[in-house]
Amino acid sequence: MTTKTANALTIAERTDKIIQTVLDAVDSEHTRRAYSRALKEFMAWYHASGLHELNKATVQRYATELREQGIGAASVNQRLSAIRKLAREAADNGALPEAIANGIAHVKGVRQEGTRAGNWLTKEQAQKLLDAPSVETIKGLRDRALLAVMLGCGLRRHEVADLTFKHIQEREGRWVLVDLVGKRNKVRSVPMPSWTKKAIDEWTQAASIKSGRVFRSVNKGDKVNGDSMTPQAVRDVVFRYADAVGLGEIAPHDLRRTFARLAYKGGAGLDQIQLSLGHASIKTTEKYLGVTQDLTDAPCDRLGLRLSK
């Protein structure tokens, strides 16, 4: 058996274990999900391609095929990041020579030109989406509460799925979602509008739940039949109602952007929006808002100073 074949067989035999090692080394749940999907797709391609060695040329070929399929730059780069991490972990565990892992680490990503535009709903569109679920059913009450949390607090879909009654606390005379754990395990607290709290109360009272996860699965008989919802189920709720009211392809993250945009237009400070979203950088928050520099009505025009003579 050649060294190349031995290396390939080692990778094939230990794929699941090595992928799990990669996932164990990643803090963010969102990144774990993305890496898991990317690595499974890559390994399926690798075995189906009939290649006999995992190396830099193999990964470059995979990246080329992804681009030829019309996969966007951001998606290709995310998959390459996962593969680089896989190579690093494989080398650390003796499943891949160090030199090969280093070669894979130097596979260049796809250059991304410009800034990808996000989707934002207008105030009228957001209200239409919020009003879409029926309040005559338990499922409708759940879905309205879910949309209210996303639009009213700017939560990510996995944060919605992980939301518990313990997170909902009264602080300084108002309701707050306390100690939410977001990306990179960053902890934050998010003020909650009264209408979001009302939507949650009406759902949980109808469902007769008082502890554990706030959002649960509901069966076709309109009965709660689980103790949680998955992030994918949260996504499906958003897609379903967005399509129902004619908004097109609206993703959960678009509701997070909408929260930020509407808050900013309503006069909320950029720093406070940043805290609610849990962004480490103010530049990330500005991207969510679509903020651009205004040279017509600039900050310097608001100083109130003048030359007196």
Domain at 3-105, CATH from 1.10.150, 4.10.800, 1.10.10, 3.40.190: 1.10.150
207: pLDDT strictly greater than 80? yes
- CA dist 170 to 19, 29, 194, 211, 297, Å? 42, 28, 11, 16, 39
* Span 243-270, pLDDT tens digits: 999 988 888 989 999 998 888 888 888 8
Four-point Cα dihedral 299, 305, 307, 309, nearest 10: 170
- The fold of 123-289 is hpI Integrase; Chain A (1.10.443)
Count Cβ atoms below 10 Å from residue 165 Cβ, excluding itself: 14
pLDDT tens figures, 28-43: 666 778 888 888 899 8
Res 11 pLDDT > 70: no
Total-model pTM: 0.64
**CATH 1.10.443.10-classified regions of the chain:** 123-289
The reported pLDDT for the residue numbered 306 is 62
Stretch 160-167: mean pLDDT, rounded? Answer: 96
CATH 1.10.150 domain span(s) along the chain: 3-105
Question: Residue 112: pLDDT band by 50, 70, 90 thresholds?
Answer: low
Strand 174-181, strand 187-191: pairing: antiparallel
- Distance separating alpha carbons of residues 191 and 77, to the nearest angstrom: 35
Residue 113: per-residue pLDDT: 54
**Residue 8, pLDDT score:** 45
